[in-house]
Amino acid sequence: MRSRSIFIQVLIISLFIIIAAFSRLIPHEMNLTPVGAIALFGGAYLGMNWKSFFIPLAAIFASDLLLNNYVYAQPGAEFQLFYDGALWVYFTYGLIVLLGAFWLKKVTIFRVVTGSLGAAVIFFLVTNFACWPGTTYTPDMKGLMDCYIAGIPFFRGTLMGDLIFSGILFGAYSFIQHKYFNSLKSAERIETV
C-alpha cells in the first residue's frame, strides 16, 4: 500500500509539472512563465534523485520544442532541437532543482516565497552572465554590469512567473495532499490494524 501511495504522489507531481510546462504555450507576458516554479517544485517534492531533475527538465524541454518549432518558428525554418544558450539555461534549471531539494525539505509559505525569489535571482544571474561574452558588451566588469542592467526588464516577468506559478503549484499540491493523502494514510493505518 505504501508503494502505491508513493507512486500516486509521483504521478500527481509529474502531472502538475507537465501541465505547468505546457501552459507556456498560452500567450503570456515576456518571461512570465512557470519554468522556475517547475524546477523548484520538482526539487522540493521529488527529492534528491534522478526524477527531480529528469521530470521537470524533460517537461520544459518538450514545451521548448513546441515553442521553438511551432509557436515562434519562422516559415521555412529548420527544426531546432536546442537554441543558443540552452545549456546555460538548463544548467540554471538544475541549480533551481537543487535549491528546491535543499531549501524546501520542509515546505512552508515563507520557504516557497523565498525559494521563488532565489530561483528568479539564480536565473537572472546565470543567464545574463552566459550571454555576456561574445555579444556587444565589452569583455570587462563594466560590460558584465551593462549586460545585467540590460536584463533587468526581463527580471520582472521571471520573478512574477516564479512567484505566481510557485503559489499555484505548491498551493494546489498542498490542497491535494490534505484532501487525498491524509485519507489514504488513514486507510493504510486501518489495514495494518
42 in Cβ contact with 25 (< 8 Å): no
126 contacts: CB under 8 Å, gap ≥ 6: 88, 91, 92, 95
Distance (Å, whole) CA 190 – CA 108: 29
69-73, 114-118, 139-143, 179-183, range with the lowest pLDDT: 179-183
Q: What is the pLDDT of residue 118?
A: 98
Three cell numbers, residue 71: 509557436
- First-to-last CA distance in the chain? 14
Distance (Å, whole) CA 103 – CA 6: 22
Q: What is the pLDDT of residue 188?
A: 47
29 in Cβ contact with 47 (< 8 Å): no
Report how far apart, in Å, the C-alpha atoms of 173 and of each of 76, 120, 136, 188 are: 42, 21, 44, 20
Residue ranges and CATH numbers for the domains of the chain are 2-192 (1.10.1760)
3-class DSSP state of 29: coil
pLDDT tops 70 at residue 186 = no
* pLDDT tens-digit map of 78-125: 999 998 889 999 999 999 999 999 999 999 999 999 999 999 999 999
**Whole-number percent of the chain with pLDDT over 90:** 73
